Amino acid sequence: MTAERSGTIRSRIKNLLRSPSIKLRRSGTARHKEDLSGKVTLEKALGITAPGNRALACDPRTGLLAYPAGCVVVLLNPRKNKQHHIFNSSRKAITTLAFSPDGKYVVTGESGHMPAVRVWDVSERLQVSELQEHKYGVACVAFSPNGKYIVSVGYQHDMMVNVWNWKKNVVVAANKVSSKVTAVSFSDDSSYFVTAGNRHVKFWYLDHAKTSKVNATVPLLGRSGLLGELRNNFFSDVACGRGRQASSTFCITSSGLLCEFNDRRLLDKWVELRTSQATCLSVTDELIFCGCSDGTVRAFSPVNLHFLCNLPRPHYLGADIASMVDASQLFSCRSEARYPDTVAVTYDPTNRWLSCVYNDHSVYVWDVRDLRDPRRAGKLYSALYHSSCVWSVEHHCCWGQHREGGVIRLRGAADRPEQVGH
C-alpha cells in the first residue's frame, strides 16, 4: 500500500511539472533573468584590494592603471577618471596582475583551491589563455620583456615557480621554492628573473635552447643571492635594473634598506631609508621610488643610490573630507598628523606619473615630471575609498520637480558614511 501511494505521488509530481503553466513560469523566469543581465552593468568599482606592488601595474604606452577589486580587474584612465573592467569568470579574488610589454594583454593570478593564471586581451577585455598548475593560490606574476613568457609563483604551501609559453599554453620550465615569495621581476634581456621574500632573494635562469622544446618541462635553474649579513631580512620587493643599470638588481627590505645586487648576485651596497618600514619600489632608467610607512615615498638615483627627494604625502589619517571646502585643506600640515603607509608604487615613463596605493585603500597619481623641486609634484588623480570592510548599502530616493534620482550611501567599518553616487 505504501509503495502504491509513493508511486502515485511521484506520478502526480511528474504530471505537475509537465503542465503548461509550470513551463510558462520557467520560461518567464529565464527571460526575466536574461533581461536583467542585459540591463545591469558595472559603471565604477569603489575600492581596491591590492596588497602590494604585485597587484598594481601600469601600461607603459598609455598610462592605463590596473589593480584588483575583489574578482574584478579595474582598468583606470587617471586623466579622464574613466574605468573599464575585466570580470574573473571563476569569481575568485585576484591576487596579482601585470601588463605585457606592449600593453595589449594583462595576466592575473587568483586565490583559492586550484587557482588559474589567466591572460586577458585589454581592448576586448576577454580571456585568451589559461594555466592551472598551482594548487593553493598565486602570489605573483610577470611577463618577460620579450613578451614570450610568463612566470608565476605560488603561495608558500604551493611551493612552485612556473615559466610558461602562454601563447602555446604550456609550462616550459618549473621548480620548487620553499620560502614565502612576495615579488618577482624579469631582467631587461629576459634571460633571468629574480624572486624576493622572507630571507629569500633568488636568481632563476632561462635556457632558451631548452625552453624552446615545448613538448617537455625542463627544470628551472636557480641560484640564491649572496645576502651576507642581511640574510635574516624580509625582502618585500624586487626590481631588475633598466638601461645603464641593467646588470643590477634592486631590493627593498621591510626593515628599511634599499639594496643593490651586482651581476654576480652579490649584495654590493645598500642605504638606509630612515623609515620604520619599507614595502615597495619602482625602478626606471633614471629613478628609484621607495614606498615607506607614514605616507612616505623617497626617490633615489639607480647609479649610486644617492637620495634625491621626498614626494608629497597623501591626506592625513582621520581627515574629514566632507567638511573640506578647498583642496589645499587636504594636505595641510599638522605636527601631530599621521599618514597611511604606502603599500604599492608604479611609474609611468611616458607621462611621468607615479601611482601610489596606501594602506587605507586610497589611490593617488602624482605628476613627477620635475623632481628637481619636489614641491612642484602635483596630484593628477586621487580616490579615497573605505579603509575597512563595507557592511551596509542604502539607497535614498530623491524626488525633484523635474527629475527622479537617488543617492547611494555606503557604510564601512571604522569610517564615516560616504555619499558615492547619484
Q: Which domains does the chain have, with CATH numbers?
A: 53-317+334-385 (2.130.10.10), 389-422 (no CATH)
* pLDDT confidence of residue 386: 82
* pLDDT confidence of residue 157: 86
Give the burial class of 387: count Cβ atoms within 10 A of its Cβ; 0-12 exposed, 13-18 middle, 19 or more buried: middle
* pLDDT confidence of residue 14: 64
pTM for the complete prediction?
A: 0.84
* CA nearest neighbour of 239 among 297, 185, 180, 304: 185
CA distance 229 to 113: 38
* pLDDT confidence of residue 216: 73
* pLDDT confidence of residue 307: 95
Q: Encode the chain in three state secondary structure.
A: CHHHHHHHHHHHHHHHHHCHHHHHHHHHHHHHHHHHHHHCCCCCCCCCCCCCHHHCEECCCCCCEEEEECCEEEEEECCCCEEEEEECCCCCCEEEEEECCCCCEEEEEECCCCCCEEEEECCCCEEEEEECCCCCCEEEEEECCCCCEEEEEECCCCCEEEEEECCCCEEEEEEECCCCEEEEEECCCCCEEEEEEECEEEEEECCHHHHCCCCCCEECEEEECECHHHCCCEEEEEEECCHHHCCCEEEEECCCEEEEECCCCEEEEEEECCCCCEEEEEECCCCEEEEECCCCEEEECCCCCCEEEECCCCCCCCCCHHHCCCHHHHHCCCCCCCCCCEEEEEEECCCCEEEEEECCCEEEEEECCCCCCHHHCEEEEEEECCCCCEEEEEEEEEECCCCEEEEEEEEECCCCCEEEEC
Mean pLDDT split into 10-residue runs, the chain, 422 residues:
59 64 51 58 90 94 94 95 93 96 96 93 94 92 95 91 92 92 95 96 84 72 93 96 94 97 94 96 95 96 94 86 64 77 95 95 91 75 85 68 48 48 41
How many CB atoms are located within 10 Å of the residue 365 CB?
24
Are the CB atoms for 22 and 30 separated by under 8 Å?
no
Instruction: Give residue for cell 635552447.
Output: 209
> Within 13 A of 391's CA, how many CA atoms are on the CB side?
8
* pLDDT confidence of residue 317: 87
How do beta strands 404-412 and 278-283 pair?
Answer: unpaired
* pLDDT confidence of residue 87: 95
* pLDDT confidence of residue 159: 85
* pLDDT confidence of residue 417: 40
* pLDDT confidence of residue 34: 54
